[in-house]
Amino acid sequence: MKTTAIKTTDLPKRFLDVHPHNLFLYCKAYAASLRANSAQTKNRSAVSGGGKKPWAQKGGGRARAGSKRSPLFVGGGVVFGPSNNKNYQQKVNKKQKKLALYHALAETASNEKLFVADSVVIESGKTKDAAAFVKGLGQRDVLVVKETIDDKTFLAFRNLQNAYLVEANELNAYLAAAYHSMVIEKAVFDKLTKEA
């Protein structure tokens, strides 16, 4: 598996003219979409109890109270607490997604961390062979992009902590920006640069 480092001069001009804000917007939207959205509290209408007026309206010397479930009391409802019906999705249009990916690839190439391989196949299916391939690149961690993932290569890469294997249709700007370096198959790279 011979790998060749791609420089910014090897990329189309379209990749280099992208404003970095596109990448920021995409990564922000991607992170927002990963939120669990499971935080929830009960307001005064949802907590149990509170049918009886705690004390008489007048004559006790205390402030009037209509329910023990008021937010003022222990065990009462929460005011303005989080609810799990909040939508955290942020819209990023198709053009911005593409521009964000272009910028992420250009940034990786400018740091000489973008490599193109004819094909990435671990025929043995052994993790040690995949680890040797990653070690041979001399990088901290690597995103490996294949046109289609075969079973043996998937098995070889799946337990590596410093490598992540994705198919071409799964590649996005967030992944491209998150990894220190990237190895991309020539067919995928040619398709990306041709579209630009």
Q: Domain residue spans in the chain?
A: 3-35+89-195, 38-87
Residue 181 to residue 179: CA distance in whole angstroms: 5
Residue type, 85: N
Residue 48 to residue 68: CA distance in whole angstroms: 10
Task: For the full predicted model, state whether its pTM sits above 0.85.
Answer: no
Q: What is the pLDDT of residue 164?
A: 95
**Alpha-carbon dihedral sign for residues 7, 12, 17, 18:** negative
The alpha-helical segments, DSSP class H, found in 116-167 are 127-137, 151-157
What H or E segment, with its residue span, contains residue 13?
helix 13-16
Residue 125's region, left for phi above 0, alpha for psi from -120 to 50, else beta, is left
CB 171 within 8 A of CB 165: no
Q: What is the pLDDT of residue 1?
A: 64
Kindly report the CATH number that applies to the domain delimited by 3-35+89-195. 3.40.1370.10
Residue 181 to residue 115: CA distance in whole angstroms: 8
Mean pLDDT of the chain: 92
Report, as ranges of residue numbers, the positions in the chain whose pLDDT lies below 70: 1, 196
Q: What is the pLDDT of residue 98?
A: 94
Q: Which residue has tokens 């040690």?
A: 128
